[in-house]
């Protein structure tokens, strides 16, 4: 993991030797920093510290968040096709970002521009709306949540498309944001996302056992003493916050949240006590590597990172699937 981050920081459109990159990063750490002698140019330092490092860390956090949310939703809905966008959060974020672009809102909050802020708000509002609509007499069944989520997502997506058509000059901005990418990642974004991912990960790790119980079915879990209804909402809230935070800084990056948990499951089995931390690490690693490829393959041009995640993730997943089927056969 650490090795991947170091390699990712060393690779980019501009060549900086691996050792130099490593030492520049070291020099910025407390205590250790004094032991490193500065033998690099200020330009190299700016590239490593201000451009690459925040971007790599952001990729790490976003990947972690997406995979974590994917694992939670797949467990909660007992549906292998569940992914982070399942109950409207991604489309909500997309609409939030689109509105910020469309009205050219300039507001900011502590170094964050209006786009990630609106995306985050949109994400949470969408999930709340899905929950409010799906709720009948204080309870919402998983099935109706899924259906309402799909319906509302389509509705929000159509509004996004409409705004794109109506807004002539901002169409490109919206389009590029929707494609997903980490190109504008900076330290403010890293610091803004970090607490959400950290708290979400901690909560999911603590509740991983209960998620195992829920896999037995809601009735059985309730008999074993799990307050299923409250537990479900806690999990949905955790996953939604994590997704909202991840999507708000990176746009819509597909595949990571859907596939990482499956890949990890093939390696660790279905126990959430291993699946959750595995997904967190795997998702972070996956997106860091994918973004590094996206940045370097056709440098100085960039590929949209979503293309890379699908291009390498899908064949790898199919390979793992075939292998595990052969073992059980």
Partner 1 sequence: MLRKRSLLTVLALCILAASLLSGCGGSEKKGEERSPGVFTDDLGREVTLEEAPSRIVSVSPACTEILFALGLGDKVVGVTEYCDYPEEALEKEKIGTFTTPSLEAIVALNPDLVLATGGVQAEVLGRMEELGLTVYAVNPTTFDETLATILEVGEITGTTRRAEEIVTDMNQRAVEVARRVNEMEARGKARPRAFFEIYYENNVWTVGKGSIISNLIRLAGGENIGDMESGDYYEFSVEALMSQNPQVYLVGSGSMFEPGDITSRPGWDRMDAVRDGRVYVIEENLLYRTGPRLIDGLEAIHAALYPED
As measured in angstroms, the least distance from the Cβ of 7 to partner 1 is 16
- Tokens of residue 186, six digits: 């900076």
Residues 218, 133: Cα–Cα separation, whole Å: 21
Under rule CB under 8 A, how many of the chain's residues touch partner 1? 27
What minimum distance in Å lies between the beta carbon of 314 and partner 1? 24
The answer to the question of residue 116 lying near partner 1 (CB under 8 A) is: no
User: Please, what is the minimum distance in Å from the beta carbon of residue 157 to partner 1?
Assistant: 19
**Phi and psi of 112, rounded to 5°?**
-95, 140
Write down the H helix ranges in 103-227. 114-134, 142-166, 171-179, 187-214, 218-223
Q: Does 172 bind partner 1 (CB under 8 A)?
A: yes
Query: Are the C-beta atoms of 24 and 48 separated by less than 8 Å?
Result: yes
- Applying CB under 8 A, the span of 44-52, 126-134, 146-154, 233-241 interacting with partner 1 comes to 44-52
The answer to whether residues 200 and 239 touch, using CB atoms and an 8 Å cutoff, is: yes
Angle of the 2-10 helix axis to the 53-77 helix axis, nearest 10 = 140
Selected range binding partner 1 among 80-88, 164-172, 208-216, 318-326, rule: CB under 8 A: 164-172
DSSP 8-state code for residue 109: B
By CB under 8 A, name the one of 31, 300, 326, 328 that touches partner 1: 300
Contact region with partner 1 (CB under 8 A), list: 67-75, 179-187, 194-202, 251-259: 179-187
**CB 209 within 8 Å of CB 273:** yes
Give the footprint of partner 1 on this chain (CB under 8 A): 12-14, 43, 46-47, 50-52, 113, 115, 165, 168-170, 172-173, 176, 181, 183-184, 186, 295, 299-302
């Amino acid at each position: 993991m650490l090795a991947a981050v170091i390699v990712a920081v060393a690779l980019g459109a501009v060549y900086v030797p691996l050792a130099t990159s490593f030492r520049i990063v070291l020099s910025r750490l407390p205590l250790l920093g004094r032991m490193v002698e500065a033998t690099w140019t200020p330009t190299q330092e700016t590239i490593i510290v201000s451009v690459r490092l925040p971007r790599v860390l952001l990729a790490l956090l976003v990947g972690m968040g997406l995979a974590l949310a994917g694992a939670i939703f797949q467990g909660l809905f007992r549906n292998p096709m569940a992914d982070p966008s399942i109950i409207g959060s991604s489309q909500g974020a997309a609409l939030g970002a689109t509105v910020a672009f469309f009205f050219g809102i300039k507001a900011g909050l502590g170094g964050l521009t209006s786009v990630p802020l609106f995306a985050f708000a949109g994400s949470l509002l969408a999930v709340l709306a899905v929950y409010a609509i799906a709720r009948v007499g204080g309870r919402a069944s998983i099935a109706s949540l899924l259906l309402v989520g799909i319906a509302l997502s389509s509705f929000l997506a159509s509004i996004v498309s409409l705004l794109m058509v109506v807004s002539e000059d901002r169409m490109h901005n919206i389009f590029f944001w929707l494609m997903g990418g980490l190109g504008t990642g900076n330290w403010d974004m890293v610091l803004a996302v970090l607490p959400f991912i950290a708290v979400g990960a901690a909560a999911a790790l603590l509740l991983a056992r209960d998620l195992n119980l829920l896999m037995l079915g809601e009735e059985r879990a309730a008999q074993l003493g799990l307050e299923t209804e409250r537990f479900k909402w806690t999990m949905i809230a955790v996953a939604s916050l994590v997704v909202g935070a991840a999507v708000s800084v990176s746009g819509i990056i597909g595949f990571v949240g859907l596939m990482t948990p499956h890949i990890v499951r093939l390696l660790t089995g279905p126990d959430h006590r291993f699946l959750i931390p595995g997904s967190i690490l795997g998702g972070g690693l996956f997106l860091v590597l994918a973004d590094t490829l996206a940045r370097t393959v056709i440098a100085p041009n960039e590929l949209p990172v979503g293309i890379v995640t699908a291009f390498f993730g899908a064949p790898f997943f199919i390979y793992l699937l075939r292998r595990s089927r052969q073992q059980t056969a």
